[in-house]
Amino acid sequence: MASMSEKKKTKRTWLTLGRRIAGCRRGSAAVEFAIIAPIFLGMMFSMFEIGWFYFANSVTDSAVTSAGRLIRTGQVQRWDGSDTEVFQQFYDTICDVVQSFGSCDTHLTVEVKSYASFSALAADLSNVTCADAEPPDIAAIPFEPGGELEIVRVRACLLFKTINPAIGVNLADPSTGIRKITSTMIFRNEPYEKNKK
């Protein structure tokens, strides 16, 4: 049986070891980093994801505005070619700007429709058709640049693939990881034939 002095010595050894471990600061930075790093990196990637989304949204708006100006000033109406060729040229003006966010063939749709009055425009409550719609719906997307002083609505839909849909604000449909970015421009065409003279 251990004597009293041996028990005290063992107890003292454990206490000394406990104090040394509690007083040792080596490795504490690594432990703190391991706790904080995932949270910090998650927040950083979330901010990047949201910033990239707003950048894509801004670029799409800018592309639609620039392309809409071609219709408003009568430039599209003067382009040579069939309606299909003119639409393809117009489509390409938007595609050239937004193609860095995905293939235009599978990610971009552009609709151009003219109206006789603002009340006719207000009565049209149709949703924008995106590239993930049924093929007959995509084939039915109109291209009507209109004539002088007609009211025109230009709409584009870009299917934006998020980098990491699990991080940050849920910007996308969870099943596909895709967010629909839509941009609309409404204007009255200028009297471009008079300006040509």
Residue 36: inside a domain, yes or no?
yes
Distances (CA, A) of 27 to 17, 21, 22: 17, 11, 12
- Residue 65 is part of which domain span? 31-196
Nearest residue to 68 (alpha-carbon basis) of 90, 89, 87, 86: 90
Residue 159: inside a domain, yes or no?
yes
**In the predicted structure, residue 197 carries a pLDDT above the cut 60:** no
**In the predicted structure, residue 109 carries a pLDDT above the cut 70:** yes
Residue 15: inside a domain, yes or no?
no
**In the predicted structure, residue 175 carries a pLDDT above the cut 80:** no
Residue 21: inside a domain, yes or no?
no
What's the pTM value of the predicted model, to 2 decimals? Answer: 0.78
Distances (CA, A) of 152 to 183, 195, 197: 14, 19, 23
Query: Comparing 48-57, 76-85, 121-130, 170-179, which segment has the lowest mean pLDDT?
Result: 170-179
List strands edge to edge, sheet with 178-188.
108-115, 151-161, 178-188
Average pLDDT on 104-115 reads 96
Q: How many domains does the chain have?
A: 1
Q: How far apart are CA 6 and CA 10, in angstroms?
A: 6
Residue 129: inside a domain, yes or no?
yes
Residue 45: inside a domain, yes or no?
yes
Q: How many Cα atoms within 13 Å fall on the side-chain side of residue 78?
A: 9
Give the model confidence (pLDDT) of 73-95 as tens digits. 999 999 999 999 999 999 999 99
Tokens at 107, concatenated: 């990610």
Residue 122: inside a domain, yes or no?
yes
pLDDT reported for residue 174: 62
